[in-house]
C-alpha cells in the first residue's frame, strides 16, 4: 500500500499530530465550547452557598462573597429531604438490579437458547423499543390505581424493571451474548453444566462490560424520572429527588432559589464524583457496548 | 449490525453435530432438548410478561380509552366513538402544539448532531488533554436532569446569571424564558448541552473505527483535510449518524421535565410539546379520554419516524456493503 516515498509525511503526521497553529485553534475552540458545559455546575455549587438574596445580585458573583450553609440547612427543614434522597436511591438501586436480572436472562435466552416461537416472542418484546412508556402513561396510571398502587413507589419500580425501559437493556444484552463463542459453552456442557449454570458461571462473568453499561444508564434513567413521580406520587415523604427539588418554595409558591440550588447540588455531587472517578468505564462502556445496535 | 435479528446465532445445536451423551440425566421425558426448551421459556418469561403487562396491554388500552369520554370526577365512562379524534383535529391549540413539537425536535436533532460531530472530530485529534475535555463535555449527561434544568432556570431569569454576564459585557440580554423564540431556543439549548455528550462518544467510537489506510489513500490522491472528512469520514460513519438521529428524535419527543420546570409550555403554547400537552390534558385537567387520544397521536408520530429511519438505515447499510 504505502510506497517508501510516502512514509516520512505519514510518520510525521502520526507522531506530531496537527501543526501548531491548528493545534492552538482546536484548544481554543474546545475551551470556548466547554463553558456552557461547566459553568452551570459551577454556578449551582457556588450559588448553593450564597444567601438567598445574592443569587441574582449584580454583578454576578462567581464566588460567594459571604458563604453560608443556610440553603443546605433549609433543604432539610422545609421537606423530608433525607427521606426523599433515600427514596430516589433505593428505587434506582432496585430498578438497576432488577433490570440487570430481567435483561440478562432474557438477552441470554433470546441469544443462545433455541426454543419454539423464539423469533415471534422476540418481536413481541421489541415492541417495547417502539412504544415509549410516556405514551402509555394514562392506562398505566389507571392500572396502578386499580391495584391500589397510586402514591406508592411500585409504579416507579415495576414499569422500568419489566416494561419498555428494560427492553432496550434486553436488546443490548442479547447483542452482546450473540458474540460469545459457542465453544465456551460446549466445554461447560461436557462438564455437565445445566442451562442456568452455563448462563451464571460462563456467560455472565464474560459480559461485565455490557452489564456495566446497562447498569449505568438504568440507574441514571431511574434517578432522572420526573413525569412518573409527579403523576403517581402525592405525599411529600414519598417524593423522589427530581420531584422534591422543584418544591422548595416560599409561602406564596415562589421558588427559594438558593435552597433549590443547595438541594440540587446534593443530588448532583455524588453522581458527578463517581463519574469523575470512573469516567473511562462510564464513557467507553456506553460507547462500545451501549448502543452499537 | 442488526440483520442477525432474524436467526438466533450461536445457540449450540442441541442435536446433530455432537452425539447426545449416553448417560441421560433425569427421567426419560426430560431430554436435554426438552429441558433447554423449557429453560428458554423461563429465561425470557419475566421480560415477556413485563412487555405484555406494561407495554402491550396499556397500548391497547390507550386506543380503547381514546374512544371514550371519561370524567374521573363524576365517574362517567361513555363510548363516544371518534368524538375525541374530531375534537383533537379541531383543537385550536393543536397547530401551535405541533409546531412547537416540530421546532423542538428538528432544532434539537440538527444542533445536537452537528455539535456532537464537531466535538468528536476535535477530540479525535492527537492532542494532549482530550480525555479531560471528553470528561467535561460528557459530564452533564450524569447530572440529574431536574437539577440541571433548575440551574439553567436560574441562569436564564431576566436578572439571572446569563444576563448579568452579558450586562458586564455591555449587552442587554432578553428575558429568555418569556419570549416565544428565545424560550424555545433556551429549552433546546438546555437539552442540547445536557445530552450532546452521549452522541459525541458514539461518534468518537465510530471515528476511531474508520480504517487508517482509507485516509492514507485519500491523502495520496491529494485530498485535503476537509475533502477527507467529506469523502471518507462522513460516508464511513453514516450508520452512526443514522443511529444517533433515531435516538435523538425519539428522545426529543420524550422531553418533559425541561419544559415543566423551565417554561410550563409557555409563553402561550410556544414551548408546549406534544408530551407536555398530553400531561396537561390527562393529569391536571383529568381528561383521560382526550389524553389517551393525544397519546395515540404521539405514538403514531414515534412509529412513523422510527419506521422511516429504519428504512433509510437499511438503504444506508446496503450502500455500505456494496
The C-alpha atoms of residue A54 and residue A34 are separated, in whole angstroms, by 26
- Please choose, from the candidates A38, A26, A34, the residue with its C-alpha nearest in 3D space to the C-alpha of residue A62: A38
Q: For B287, phi and psi rounded to 5 degrees? A: -90, 80
B161 close to A (CB below 8 A) = yes
Q: Which residues of A touch B137 (CB under 8 A)?
A: 33-34, 37
Residue B23 lies in a domain: no
Of B8, B147, B165, the CB nearest to A245: B147
B4 close to A (CB below 8 A) = yes
Q: What is the pLDDT of residue B26?
A: 52
- The CATH number assigned to the domain holding B224 equals 1.10.3720.10
Of A109, A178, A283, the CB nearest to B201: A283
B310 close to A (CB below 8 A) = no
Residue B143 DSSP code: S
Mean pLDDT, all residues of chain B: 84
Cβ–Cβ < 8 Å for B116, B207: no
Q: What's the CATH code, domain A79-247?
A: 1.10.3720.10
Contact yes or no for B36 and A135 at CB 8 A: no
Contacts with B183 (C-beta within 8 Å, 6 or more apart), sequence order:
B176, B177, B262, B263, B266, B267, B270, B271
Name the minimum distance, in Å, from the CA of A59 to any CA of chain B.
6
Name the minimum distance, in Å, from the CA of A283 to any CA of chain B.
7
pLDDT for A289 beyond 60: no
CA angle B125, B128, B134 (to 5 degrees): 70
Contact yes or no for A38 and B125 at CB 8 A: no
Residue B61 lies in a domain: no
Residue B277 lies in a domain: yes
Share of chain A above pLDDT 90, in %: 42
The C-alpha atoms of residue A93 and residue B206 are separated, in whole angstroms, by 31
User: Is the pLDDT higher at A34 or at B129?
Assistant: A34
Q: For B210, phi and psi rounded to 5 degrees? A: -75, 125
Contacts with B110 (C-beta within 8 Å, 6 or more apart), sequence order:
none
Contact yes or no for A135 and B299 at CB 8 A: yes
pLDDT band for position A191 (cuts 50, 70, 90):
confident
Mean pLDDT, all residues of chain A: 85
Residue B91 DSSP code: -
Select from A18, A37, A98 the residue whose CB has the most chain B CBs within 10 Å, as the one to mutate to test that interface.
A37
Q: Which residues of A touch B72 (CB under 8 A)?
A: none
Of B151, B202, B247, the CB nearest to A261: B151
Write down the residue that cell numbers 409557555 correspond to: B266
Residue B224 lies in a domain: yes
Cβ–Cβ < 8 Å for B274, B301: yes
Query: What is the number of domains present in chain B?
Result: 1
pLDDT band for position A14 (cuts 50, 70, 90):
very low
Cβ–Cβ < 8 Å for A264, A242: no
Residue B27 lies in a domain: no
Cβ neighbours, 10 Å, residue A29: 13
Q: Give residue-wise pLDDT tens across range A108-139.
A: 999 999 899 999 999 999 888 888 888 899 99
**Residue ranges of chain A that CATH labels 1.10.3720.10:** 79-247
Least confident of A54-68, A179-193, B35-49: A54-68
pLDDT band for position A222 (cuts 50, 70, 90):
very high
Q: Among A14-18, A55-59, B59-63, B128-132, name the most confident range.
A: B59-63
Domain that holds residue B225: 95-321
Alpha helices in chain A, H assignment, sequence order: 7-16, 20-47, 70-78, 81-112, 118-130, 137-146, 154-162, 164-178, 182-190, 195-197, 204-206, 208-224, 227-232, 241-245, 257-277, 279-285
Through-space distance between the first and last CA atoms of chain B, rounded to whole angstroms: 15
Name the minimum distance, in Å, from the CA of A113 to any CA of chain B.
5
Name the minimum distance, in Å, from the CA of B175 to any CA of chain A.
14
Q: Give residue-wise pLDDT tens across range B280-295.
A: 998 887 888 899 999 9
Exposure class string for A79-88: b at 16+ Cβ within 10 A, else e: bbbeebbebb
B14 close to A (CB below 8 A) = yes
Q: What is the pLDDT of residue A31?
A: 92
- Please choose, from the candidates B18, B20, B47, the residue with its C-alpha nearest in 3D space to the C-alpha of residue B33: B20
Q: What is the pLDDT of residue A263?
A: 92
Q: What is the ipTM of this complex?
A: 0.85
Q: Among A155-164, A182-191, B234-243, name the most confident range.
A: A155-164
pLDDT for B58 beyond 90: yes
The C-alpha atoms of residue A32 and residue B4 are separated, in whole angstroms, by 43
Contacts with A36 (C-beta within 8 Å, 6 or more apart), sequence order:
B189, B193
Of B5, B154, B282, the CB nearest to A55: B154
Helices B274-282 and B94-123, axial angle in degrees (round to 10): 130
- Report CA Rg, chain A: 25
Of B2, B65, B126, the CB nearest to A138: B65
Exposure class string for A35-60: b at 16+ Cβ within 10 A, else e: ebbebbbebbbbbbbbebebbbeeeb
pLDDT band for position A288 (cuts 50, 70, 90):
low
Contact yes or no for B142 and A2 at CB 8 A: no
Please report the sign of the dihedral spanned by the C-alpha atoms of residue B168, residue B173, residue B175, residue B177: negative
pLDDT for B319 beyond 80: no
Q: Give residue-wise pLDDT tens across range B104-127.
A: 999 999 999 999 999 999 998 888
Residue B123 lies in a domain: yes
Of A127, A128, A226, the CB nearest to B256: A226
CA B5 to chain centre: 21
Please report the sign of the dihedral spanned by the C-alpha atoms of residue A244, residue A249, residue A252, residue A257: negative
Contact yes or no for A139 and B55 at CB 8 A: no
Burial class of A65 by CB neighbour count within 10 A (0 to 12, 13 to 18, 19+): exposed
Select from B10, B77, B144, B196 the residue whose CB has the most chain A CBs within 10 Å, as the one to mutate to test that interface.
B144
Amino acid at each position: 500500500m504505502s510506497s517508501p516515498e510516502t512514509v516520512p509525511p505519514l510518520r510525521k503526521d502520526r507522531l506530531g499530530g496537527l501543526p501548531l497553529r491548528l493545534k492552538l485553534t482546536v484548544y481554543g475552540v474546545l475551551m470556548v465550547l466547554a463553558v456552557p458545559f461547566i459553568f452551570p455546575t459551577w454556578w449551582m455549587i457556588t450559588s448553593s452557598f450564597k444567601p438567598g438574596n445574592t443569587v441574582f445580585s449584580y454583578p454576578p458573583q462567581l464566588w460567594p462573597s459571604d458563604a453560608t450553609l443556610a440553603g443546605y440547612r433549609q433543604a432539610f427543614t422545609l421537606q423530608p429531604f433525607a427521606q426523599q434522597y433515600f427514596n430516589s436511591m433505593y428505587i434506582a438501586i432496585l430498578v438497576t438490579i432488577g433490570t440487570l436480572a430481567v435483561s440478562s436472562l432474557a438477552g441470554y435466552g433470546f441469544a443462545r437458547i433455541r426454543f419454539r416461537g423464539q423469533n415471534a416472542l422476540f418481536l413481541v418484546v421489541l415492541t417495547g423499543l417502539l412504544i415509549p412508556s410516556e405514551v402509555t402513561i394514562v392506562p398505566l396510571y389507571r392500572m396502578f390505581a386499580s391495584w391500589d398502587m397510586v402514591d406508592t413507589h411500585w409504579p416507579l419500580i415495576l414499569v422500568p424493571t419489566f416494561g419498555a425501559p428494560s427492553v432496550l437493556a434486553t436488546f443490548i444484552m442479547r447483542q452482546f451474548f450473540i458474540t460469545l463463542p459457542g465453544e465456551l459453552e460446549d466445554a461447560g456442557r461436557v462438564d455437565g453444566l445445566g442451562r442456568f449454570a452455563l448462563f451464571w458461571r460462563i456467560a455472565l462473568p464474560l459480559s461485565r462490560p455490557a452489564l456495566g453499561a446497562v447498569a449505568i444508564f438504568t440507574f441514571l434513567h431511574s434517578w432522572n424520572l420526573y413525569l412518573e413521580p409527579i403523576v403517581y406520587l402525592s405525599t411529600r415523604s414519598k417524593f423522589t429527588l427530581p420531584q422534591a427539588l422543584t418544591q422548595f418554595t416560599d409561602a406564596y409558591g415562589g421558588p427559594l432559589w438558593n435552597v433549590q440550588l443547595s438541594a440540587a447540588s446534593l443530588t448532583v455531587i455524588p453522581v458527578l464524583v463517581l463519574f469523575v472517578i470512573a469516567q473511562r468505564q462510564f464513557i467507553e462502556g456506553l460507547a462500545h457496548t451501549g448502543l452499537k445496535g | 449490525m442488526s440483520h442477525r435479528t432474524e436467526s438466533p446465532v450461536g445457540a449450540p445445536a442441541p442435536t446433530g453435530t455432537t452425539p447426545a451423551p449416553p448417560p441421560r440425566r433425569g427421567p426419560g421425558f426430560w431430554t436435554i432438548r426438552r429441558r433447554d426448551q423449557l429453560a428458554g421459556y423461563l429465561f425470557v418469561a419475566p421480560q415477556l410478561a413485563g412487555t405484555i403487562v406494561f407495554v402491550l396491554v396499556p397500548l391497547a388500552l390507550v386506543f380503547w380509552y381514546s374512544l371514550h369520554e371519561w370524567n374521573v370526577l363524576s365517574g362517567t365512562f361513555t363510548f363516544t366513538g371518534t368524538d375525541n379524534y374530531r375534537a383533537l383535529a379541531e383543537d385550536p391549540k393543536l397547530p401551535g402544539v405541533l409546531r412547537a413539537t416540530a421546532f423542538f425536535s428538528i432544532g434539537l436533532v440538527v444542533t445536537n448532531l452537528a455539535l456532537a460531530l464537531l466535538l468528536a472530530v476535535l477530540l479525535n485529534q492527537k492532542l494532549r488533554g482530550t480525555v479531560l475535555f471528553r470528561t467535561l463535555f460528557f459530564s452533564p449527561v450524569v447530572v440529574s436532569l431536574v437539577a440541571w434544568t433548575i440551574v439553567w432556570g436560574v441562569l436564564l431569569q431576566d436578572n439571572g446569571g446569563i444576563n448579568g454576564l452579558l450586562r458586564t459585557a455591555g449587552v442587554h440580554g432578553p428575558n429568555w424564558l418569556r419570549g416565544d423564540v428565545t424560550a424555545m431556543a433556551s429549552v433546546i439549548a438546555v437539552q442540547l448541552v445536557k445530552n450532546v455528550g452521549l452522541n459525541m462518544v458514539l461518534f468518537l467510537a465510530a471515528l476511531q473505527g474508520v480504517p487508517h489506510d482509507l485516509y492514507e489513500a485519500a491523502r495520496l490522491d491529494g485530498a485535503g483535510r476537509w475533502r477527507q472528512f467529506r469523502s471518507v469520514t462522513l460516508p464511513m460513519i453514516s450508520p452512526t449518524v443514522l443511529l444517533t438521529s433515531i435516538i435523538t428524535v425519539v428522545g426529543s419527543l420524550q422531553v418533559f421535565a425541561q419544559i415543566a420546570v423551565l417554561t410550563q409550555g409557555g409563553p402561550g403554547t410556544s414551548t408546549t410539546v406534544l408530551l407536555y400537552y398530553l400531561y396537561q390534558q390527562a393529569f391536571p385537567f383529568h381528561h383521560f379520554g382526550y389524553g389517551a387520544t393525544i397519546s395515540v397521536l404521539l405514538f403514531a408520530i414515534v412509529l412513523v419516524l422510527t419506521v422511516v429511519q429504519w428504512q433509510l438505515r437499511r438503504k444506508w447499510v446496503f450502500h455500505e456493503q456494496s
